[in-house]
Amino acid sequence: MYERGHFINGRATPGVSGRFSDIMDPTKGAVQGRAALASAKEVDEAVSSALGAFPVWSAINPQRRARVMFKFKELLEKDLDNLARMISSEHGKVLDDARGDVQRGLEVIEFACGIPHLQKGEYTESAGTGIDVYSMRQPLGVGVGITPFNFPAMIPMWMFGVAIACGNTFVCKPSERDPSAPLRLAELMLEAGAPEGVLNVVNGDKEAVDALIAHPGVSAVSFVGSSDIAQSIYTACAAQGKRVQAFGGAKNHLIVLPDADLENAANQLIGGAFGSAGERCMATPVAAPVGDETADRLIDLLKPRIEKLKVGHPFDDDSDVGPLVSRQHLERVRRYIDMGVEEGAELVIDGREMKLQGHEYGFYLGGSLFDRVTPDMTSYKDEIFGPVLQVVRAPDFDAAVKLPSDHQYGNGVSIFTRNGAAAREFAARVNVGMVGVNIPIPVPLSYYSFGGWKRSGFGDTNQHGPEGVRFWTKVKTVTQRWPQDVLESSYAMPVME
């Protein structure tokens, strides 16, 4: 049994609130540790630490901040396997997937190493007679990241990597379900040369979240989680004048046109739908084949692949998928499978009764496949967030475009086809924030930006990439003139001549 506290002002800090949350071993269904839950007082200590570090850190020139990010990148690469094992042991995802979690976060750190170029302003000489105009991007102050359980390394780095590189200081509130990796990231940032207080981590529940949102010292909040909470956080922060980006749920579709390479589509769909046991906001839990013939052929290809899916211990190199994160979530996913059956969908493969020998109390669930799901079903409308693939048959191309476009979520969508014109039209028309063409999980690279539409994203600015730099900075514009002679007074609105 181990205990995880906080990381405040450059030091590991035990919790003092007296409240704790269990850290489960998903493979056994047993408690392996506990995370301290921060009080409002502890949150204030973390924010105060970040506020104290801000004047020094923001005054360091961009090249030196970049050197810290380069060193942090180096330390991450050395510690990658250790971080992956932390993630797998607390989350349940297999080691390869956990390594990918760290790697995709590390790529944003690589992007942030270019901050001397990324944070440059603009300059116009002689915008008017003897007048020059220039702009500069300056840090906001203290940023906050509230991150989910499913990517305990990647999403914190998506947030604090760009924020800190821009000269902000940061408080991360990770999921209390798998807190070890975020705490380790804070240790590595300190080791990389960031001053004490630049990156703080507080574990906690709603009390900590509410305290962070309400704290007057916080300038900006980035959140990833459920849509209802995202909307609530967006509303609360906007009402206080804080900058906010809040990303919610998803129900990503994979459209399969009749001309697609169906073997390839099936292979990619399996990974997109069942990787990380479906606990990804960019998973592909809905397949929308166009035409009954395409649907029948696709299902024939999917069935043996799902039946051969190896659900096992996350440290087993042969495992394709590990357990779900908690018993509560396991039961939630099972209820959605029950609901799909009650709503009249055809359950082709039932993964509910899967048991792993020697780990009967673990949070394991086999892959499930539904056919003939319809858009009016609640199980289709909601995000299941588990190893469940639903097939919604589309009669034609227009109907296939309409499915993700009309859905309440608009995070990601993919189309599989050999027809470039069809893919181009689909990408232009579909009402979704991120689009993949013959790619099952269309997460953009670090030098582009991540963000969904509709109830998948609240706020005007996306994560990482150039949008991340814009989110974590504010623009100051200077208009200057150095006259040699005394100028006459003028009461008219100045214009540039």
Q: Which of 113, 166, 237, 281 is catalytic?
A: 281
Between the alpha carbon of residue 493 and those of residues 477, 485, 489, 496, the distances in Å are 18, 21, 12, 10
Is 281 an active-site residue? yes
Residues 61, 136: Cα–Cα separation, whole Å: 13
- The tokens for 383 are 């995000």
Question: Residue 434 in contact with residue 254, Cβ under 8 Å?
Answer: no
Active site residues: 281
